[in-house]
Structure 1
């Protein structure tokens, strides 16, 4: 098993990455159902929490069945980040995570997220301030460095461990790469195999199949992996990886019935969480992924994105299940979309 302070996770845990406008409670529900071992909230601005911004405060909410769960915050000021950590402390999640990896310009450009990678001393001070401000285990998610000339993750790992973090998740790209090119896990492996490092090291970046997860587990020796974009529209990836890790055999993809059931559950949780208008509107972009591979599905998708009530959507989903019953679903590779393209930040 893997221990993050007092949190016990299974061997080679599978973590759901924090993704802005993706990792909300409705999405976390279907990922938890399908085997995510540890999940994180969407990242939350420390300044927003202090100002009592409604959207930021709402992101603090989670349900008991989601545990273990971490709340992720970001910011570039020590006092603000420490105060935000105290606010998070009151909500009693299982851990507090600091985002030093978000590459979006409006975050990194104002010295938060991956912007902190330009100033390692500041990163250490911010982390130490959080550790001192909360009773929760503090973890960090970051990248290899700001650009190809500043891949300083090995130094970062040692220094952050020294000020008290309990685990480190590393995305195998620099900030300047955004999500371009292929994630390089070589330095992640070096951090893990550094004899000075004793905290869990979680690898992140481009894991989109069970085979790749096990290959990287064996090649780089990481304690676990964090999955982000591959889970969008395919929450089954957690159970598929777990099955392959434990048996060495590939698991069959989700059945039509499972796809419809997850679509309905995600919809129901979205309406319950956000209200009927926002909940239904925000689900419209999810059906393409959940129903991918069904022949001539466009005719149904065109209807799904115009409906205004949960009951109407469920009726069409039932119709789809009946229409395609008995059709063998073709397996398709999981696409790693750049969800930041639609991110309001």
Structure 2
């Protein structure tokens, strides 16, 4: 059975790339798409920023043909502003709109946006309804189990948001109070998936960091697909590895040093093409340690990579990384 969101066909068990602030930009999305991500989202975008025409918010609306299907994710605390932001985002031409009701960070949740709306389901329902009515695109939602252990209300949230027209729901298996600590609990996600009233796809999110776990939780929790976030940072191969394991029951060989360097270089090239050399090179610096995690004595190379300020210099260092570590592993 194919998973559908509106008229978007995502195949039989889609893998989604989570929208992550300062990570899920077009260069990062490119390398994830190349490695098998089925559906991706922009970084979350402030409704206030879109309405004010803030440059940073506007830039996050950039999407490219190769990314499709892609959703634009917005967040905010004011219903009318969310409606206006939906119209602005729809004009950017995504395949779907997504609302963030899951972000736990203080400057979002304590301003009445993101996970904060789990404390006011009536307002969440009204806001969702306004967004659904403001666009011709399918609307999806990402949320958490609840605000804290005493208010795990996502079962009710799922029913009520489906009633006002959302077409898929992603649930992160933690409460807002947990932030990203502890272990994600998918039992409530499973209960929602088994609820006979729920007809929309339910995607699970939280702690999927290996093909074996993805396969085990797919069977155990019976979700329609999975959203992967932190495990893809510096390791976009997670998508192809999970898919290969689903298909064959075998682990795909990990990427070689040459592959790691190639994908890192592609990410850098896309970053420069999108943001210009100065910002593109600067913002890529946070990714090097992730791409080369686990390599002995990599710190020396990382220090060189984060001070290099031209593509040519970085390219030269990456060549040396390939040579040095390929010899070591030969």
TM-score range, shorter chain: over 0.9
- 1:18 CA drift (Å): 0.4
Residues 293-321 of structure 1, C-alpha deviation per residue, up to 9 Å, x if partnerless? 22222221121111110110001101111
Secondary structure of the corresponding residue to residue 284 of structure 1: helix
Distance 1:201 1:87 in 2: 27
Secondary structure of the corresponding residue to residue 72 of structure 1: strand
Residue 9 in 1 paired to residue 10 in 2? yes
Which residue is 2:292 aligned to? Answer: 291
Matches within 5 A, 1:249-328: 249-328=250-329
Which residue is 2:66 aligned to? Answer: 65
CA-atom RMSD in angstroms: 1.0
Matches within 5 A, 1:159-178: 159-178=160-179
- 1:29 CA drift (Å): 0.6
Residues 209-234 of structure 1, C-alpha deviation per residue, up to 9 Å, x if partnerless? 00110111000000000000110111
Which residue is 1:341 aligned to? Answer: none
Distance 1:114 1:292 in 2: 31
How many residues end up aligned between the 2 structures? 329
Distance 2:296 2:49 in 1: 45
Which residue is 1:335 aligned to? Answer: none
Query: Which 5+ residue runs of structure 2 have no aligned equivalent?
Result: none
- 1:323 CA drift (Å): 1.8
Which residue is 2:211 aligned to? Answer: 210
Matches within 5 A, 1:52-131: 52-131=53-132
Which residue is 1:337 aligned to? Answer: none
Please give the TM-score of this superposition, normalised by the length of structure 2. 0.98
Distance 2:272 2:37 in 1: 22
Secondary structure of the corresponding residue to residue 70 of structure 1: strand
Query: Which 5+ residue runs of structure 1 have no aligned equivalent?
Result: 330-345
- 1:280 CA drift (Å): 1.0
Please give the TM-score of this superposition, normalised by the length of structure 1. 0.94
Matches within 5 A, 1:189-208: 189-208=190-209
Which residue is 1:340 aligned to? Answer: none
Distance 1:145 1:226 in 2: 18
